[in-house]
Structure 1
Amino acid sequence: MSVARFPFWRVVPGERSGEFVLPVMPPATAGPDGAPHIMGGAALGAIIDAMQLDSELPLLWAQVQFLGATQHAEELAISCEQCGGGQSVAQYAASASVNGRPTHRASGALGYREPNEQTLFAQMPDVVGPDDATPVEISHSAPGSLPDQFEYRVCLYDEARGIQGVWTRSRAEFPVDAGWLAIISDLFLGAHPASRGGSSLDAMFRFIQGAEPGWVLSMTEFAAFDRGVVHGSARHFSEDGRLLAISSQTGVLPRIPRAS
């Protein structure tokens, strides 16, 4: 098992203003040995990093459409620009490409208003903690890829209702920031046997707050399978019960579901 010690979704500035590059390392990829692709959550994390660097503001929300394949990519080129906003919030548009071929289209908002007292309406459900949850090894990706970067423990599973609760933790003890939570949110299709091996069409990510390194509880709820796709959403909580982020996705179901 190979664990990255540097956040593998961090970008570096490109040659022009608003341009950034993600050097694609194995931890940012998924897929079998010999056919790696950039994990959608890692791409979203890189786009979020680019928008935050360009704006010098914290993320509020971001969404991405997955346009094309990223197999064997060595770099992900990201371009972002402010396209609206006001005194407190900047609205952004972004795109990403591999060797000049468009692979992602994204948008987001960054910033904040005057401080006010935080109110968290969403409450963490009553589930067993990570120490009592069931460890699961994800074995269908190459060694050193994204599944090696986190621990994964299932605490609730109801296939009939389309609900899963899973605890995850960075093996490298990365802080639980917007980028890491975006990566966790892309585990969505693994929450049901009928969707495993599918591909994401889009991802929506709403960032509430970060947390210190540690366990994150992701509660995924599928809403529907229809016309060969799955729709659903998830809420992500810190171990002490604070809401950290909200996410949602639409994904294409696999023609042949992957075995559990």
Structure 2
Amino acid sequence: MSIARFPFWRCAPEGGEGRYVFPVTRPATVGPPEHPHVMGGAALAATIDALEQDSGQPILWANTQFLSPTQGVEELIIQCEPVGGGRSVSQWAAIAFAGERPVHRVNAALGARPGDSDTQFAQMPDVPGPADGEAKPSDPNGYDDNLVGQLERRTALEDNVRGYEAVWSRSAAGFANDAGWLAMVSDFFLGAHPRTRGGSSLDATFRFIRAAEPGWILSVTEFAAFDRGVVHGSARHFAEDGTLLAISSQTGVLPHRPFTR
């Protein structure tokens, strides 16, 4: 197993207003070495990093549309643009390009308005802890040295009749559970049911609540429906102490043939 020891989703200014480069390394991809493509969650994490750098504000929410394939891409150029908002919270847009071709379109809000009390309504379900879970089987595009290999994952609960799954995961390198890492974890949505594994995401919405220190997080995925060849659903992501860290949702295209392993 090859574990990345640096935050491989980070961007760097590229030499233009609002313009950043995301160098694509193997840990940010999924698929076999001869046909890797950028994991949508890694691209979203990189875009969040670019938006936070350009705005000087923390991410609140981001939605990405996956426009075209990223097989074999060596870098993404991310162009950020403010589009509205006020002094405390601002609205932004970004487009990720592979060469001249747009591959992802992102809308986002960043900032914070201090002064209000914090309240958590969502409660983590009562499931076995990570020490008691079984190792999560590998995904269709998973290899030891790509993004799938950067996580340890253990199944706490899987109910395919309900379309419900609870999975513990943590960074094998010990990365903190910040917005970028959680955005990547949230993109394992399609791995939560045998019928969805091997599908492709149309979009991803990520709502960031707060960061946590390195350690296990519990992702609780609930599918709402399979309809017209797609799946709709959402997930909540908790720290081991029950603190809500993020909320996510997706629509994904179901594979023609369910993945089995």
Q: What percentage of residue pairs aligned between the two structures are identical?
A: 60
Change (3 A) 1:75 1:211: same
Residue of structure 2 equivalent to 1:202: 203
| Structure 1 residue 33, shift from structure 2 partner | 2.9
Q: Secondary structure at the match of 2:47?
A: helix
Q: Which amino acid aligns with 2:45?
A: G
| Structure 1 residue 158, shift from structure 2 partner | 0.3
| Structure 1 residue 137, shift from structure 2 partner | 4.0
Answer yes or no: is the 8 Å Cα contact 2:164–2:221 preserved in 1.
yes
Deviation by residue 1:160-196 (Cα, 9 ceiling, x = unmatched): 0000000000001101000000000000000000000
Residue of structure 1 equivalent to 2:175: 174
Residue of structure 1 equivalent to 2:188: 187
CA RMSD of aligned residues (A): 0.9
Residue of structure 1 equivalent to 2:131: 131
Residue of structure 2 equivalent to 1:157: 158
The within-5 A match list for 1:176-255 is: 176-255=177-256
What TM-score, normalized to structure 2? 0.98
| Structure 1 residue 36, shift from structure 2 partner | 0.3
The within-5 A match list for 1:74-89 is: 74-89=74-89
Q: Secondary structure at the match of 1:44?
A: helix
Q: Which amino acid aligns with 1:246?
A: I
Q: Distance in 2 between matches of 1:37 and 1:137?
A: 21
Residue of structure 1 equivalent to 2:119: 119
| Structure 1 residue 117, shift from structure 2 partner | 2.0
Answer yes or no: is the 8 Å Cα contact 2:139–2:191 preserved in 1.
no
Q: Secondary structure at the match of 1:118?
A: coil
Answer yes or no: is the 8 Å Cα contact 2:195–2:254 preserved in 1.
yes
Q: Distance in 1 between matches of 2:30 and 2:100?
A: 22
Deviation by residue 1:138-174 (Cα, 9 ceiling, x = unmatched): 1643441001101010000000000000000000110
| Structure 1 residue 114, shift from structure 2 partner | 1.9
Residue of structure 1 equivalent to 2:10: 10
Extract unaligned runs of 5+ from structure 1: none
Q: Work out whether 1:40 is the aligned partner of 2:22.
A: no
Q: Which amino acid aligns with 1:95?
A: I
- Which region of structure 1 is more displaced relative to structure 2, 4-13 or 141-150? 141-150
Residue of structure 1 equivalent to 2:66: 66
Answer yes or no: is the 8 Å Cα contact 1:149–1:171 preserved in 2.
yes
Q: Secondary structure at the match of 1:247?
A: strand
Q: Distance in 2 between matches of 1:14 and 1:142?
A: 31
| Structure 1 residue 116, shift from structure 2 partner | 2.5
Q: Secondary structure at the match of 1:147?
A: helix
After TM superposition, the runs of 4+ consecutive aligned structure 1 residues lying more than 3 A away are none
| Structure 1 residue 32, shift from structure 2 partner | 2.0
Q: Which amino acid aligns with 2:14?
A: G
- Which region of structure 1 is more displaced relative to structure 2, 34-43 or 112-121? 112-121
Q: Distance in 1 between matches of 2:211 and 2:82?
A: 24
| Structure 1 residue 135, shift from structure 2 partner | 1.0
Q: Which amino acid aligns with 1:239?
A: E
Q: Distance in 1 between matches of 2:115 and 2:150?
A: 35
Q: Distance in 2 between matches of 1:36 and 1:81?
A: 29
Change (3 A) 1:108 1:142: same
| Structure 1 residue 15, shift from structure 2 partner | 1.1
Extract unaligned runs of 5+ from structure 2: none
Answer yes or no: is the 8 Å Cα contact 2:139–2:197 preserved in 1.
no
Answer yes or no: is the 8 Å Cα contact 1:9–1:22 preserved in 2.
yes
Q: Distance in 2 between matches of 1:143 and 1:127?
A: 27
Q: Distance in 1 between matches of 2:145 and 2:169?
A: 17
Q: Distance in 2 between matches of 1:49 and 1:82?
A: 15
